[in-house]
């Protein structure tokens, strides 16, 4: 199955549309069957019990009147449950949304009251033979139970800017960069990091310049991170415990781009005493450089664009607005 493309919001829309397609027809059938016995609670509950297996992954099924008062017990996997008979659901998120003209609504996700978990509710309008509205069928779903309807969301590689902590931004002109131990040993640190990324299977690194540490992830063990303190980062022997590995063929960052990226990070760290880089990241498979500045604003920028921007660009940005203070 192809992974979703576009923004995260677009991926959510794709998932919701797939779920609506899956749920609309069976809930319409359930509403039709229930409309025939709407005023007989026992028969209505029996119809809901019979219909429960029609809809996959459903947690609860129930009927409500036009005021969103529950008129049946919940139907669940264990059968009929008494607890919500007579419950007023009018203020729940799914009943505060406008039901479309076709009578079917898939709610926005919300946190359930009892389970405290992300949930969805599908609401289907019920009409009588005279087309008069009788009430609603509600079908609750726990997000974790819903079937997968698409591939894993893929992070876009477009340039993104995110504002940081307002308290930090407001005091940025009252701070001055202090040389960290990493700053004083920057050439050794960058050479060690370059060696790890080009020869020893490190595919993701976070360099914390201000606190003189790094966090790395290995392609051979990608689920665990390693924390390297300044003693390790300034000791070339530190590369020895990490076996040599071929450079990954599917990396978006070319091998020869790694050192220029690291040099650019150094330049941004040292470019100004007020506006300066606090941390920088590089991921070979995302092809993205992450930058967090002294104003706490962050950039996530494709490697090629990052290498195209010289120091003058960032200094100019600092003179006009805070680096990394773009759109949230």
- 34-50 pLDDT tens trace: 999 999 999 999 999 99
Give pLDDT, residue 321.
42
CA angle 130/134/67 to nearest 5° reads 145
Average pLDDT for residues 267-272, to the nearest whole number? 89
3 state DSSP class of 171: coil
pLDDT-above-90 percentage for the chain: 60
Domains and CATH numbers, the chain: 8-145 (3.30.450.20), 160-320 (no CATH)
- Across 185-203, average pLDDT: 96
Angle at 43 (CA atoms; ends 37, 47), nearest 5 degrees: 85
Q: How confident is the model at residue 289 (pLDDT cuts 50, 70, 90)?
A: very high
User: In this predicted structure, what is the pLDDT of residue 180?
Assistant: 94
Per-residue pLDDT band for 2 (boundaries 50, 70, 90) equals very low
Question: Which range, of 26-30, 150-154, 273-277, 307-311, averages the lowest pLDDT?
Answer: 150-154
Asked if residue 215 has pLDDT above 90, the reply is: yes
Strand-pairing partners, residue 124, are: 104, 137
**pLDDT, tens digit, 9 for 90 and up, residues 146-170:** 766 555 556 666 667 766 556 555 5
Q: Which of 84-98, 138-152, 228-242, 280-294 is predicted with the least confidence, judged by mean pLDDT?
A: 138-152
Distance CA 188, CA 203 (A): 19
Among 293, 230, 285, 223, smallest CA distance to 265 is for 293
pLDDT at 295 over 80: no
pLDDT in tens, 55-71: 888 999 999 999 999 99
**Cα–Cα distance between 163 and 264 in angstroms, integer?**
22
pLDDT tens track for 90-115: 999 999 988 888 899 999 999 998 88
Q: How far apart are CA 89 and CA 317, in angstroms?
A: 52
pLDDT for the residue numbered 302: 93
Q: How far is CA 84 from the centre of its chain?
A: 33
- pLDDT of 310 > 80? The answer is no
- pLDDT score recorded for residue 41: 95
pLDDT at 141 over 70: yes
Longest alpha-carbon distance in the chain = 83
- Angstrom CA distances, 240 to 136, 200, 236, stand at 67, 9, 8
Is the pTM higher than 0.75? The answer reads no
Q: What is the pLDDT of residue 15?
A: 80
């Amino acid at each position: 199955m192809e992974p979703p493309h576009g923004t995260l919001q677009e991926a959510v829309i794709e998932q919701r549309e797939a779920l609506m397609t899956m749920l609309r027809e069976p809930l319409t059938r359930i509403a039709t069957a229930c409309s025939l016995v709407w005023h007989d609670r026992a028969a209505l509950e029996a119809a809901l019990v019979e219909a429960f297996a029609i809809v996959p992954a459903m947690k609860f099924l129930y009927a409500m009147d036009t005021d969103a008062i529950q008129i049946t017990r919940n139907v669940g996997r264990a059968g009929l449950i008494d607890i919500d008979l007579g419950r007023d659901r009018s203020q729940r998120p799914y009943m505060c949304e406008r039901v479309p003209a076709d009578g079917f609504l898939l709610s926005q996700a919300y946190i359930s009251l009892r389970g405290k978990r992300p949930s969805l509710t599908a609401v289907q309008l019920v009409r009588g033979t005279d087309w008069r509205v009788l009430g609603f069928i509600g079908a609750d779903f726990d997000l974790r139970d819903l079937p997968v309807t698409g591939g894993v969301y893929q992070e876009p590689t477009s340039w993104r800017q995110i504002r940081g902590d307002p308290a930090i931004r407001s005091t940025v002109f009252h701070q001055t960069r202090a040389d960290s131990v990493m700053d004083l040993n920057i050439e050794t640190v960058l050479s060690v990091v370059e060696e790890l990324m080009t020869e020893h299977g490190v595919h993701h690194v976070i360099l914390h310049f201000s606190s003189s540490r790094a966090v790395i992830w290995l392609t051979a063990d990608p689920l665990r991170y390693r924390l390297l303190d300044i003693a390790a980062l300034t000791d070339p022997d530190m590369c020895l415990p990490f076996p040599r590995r071929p450079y990954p063929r599917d990396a978006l960052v070319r091998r020869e781009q790694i050192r220029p990226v690291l040099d650019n990070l150094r330049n941004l760290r040292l470019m100004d005493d007020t506006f300066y880089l606090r941390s920088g990241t590089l991921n070979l498979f995302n092809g993205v450089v992450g930058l967090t500045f002294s104003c706490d604003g962050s950039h996530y920028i494709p490697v090629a664009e990052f290498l195209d921007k010289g120091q003058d660009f960032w200094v100019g940005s600092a003179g006009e607005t805070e680096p990394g203070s773009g759109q949230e």
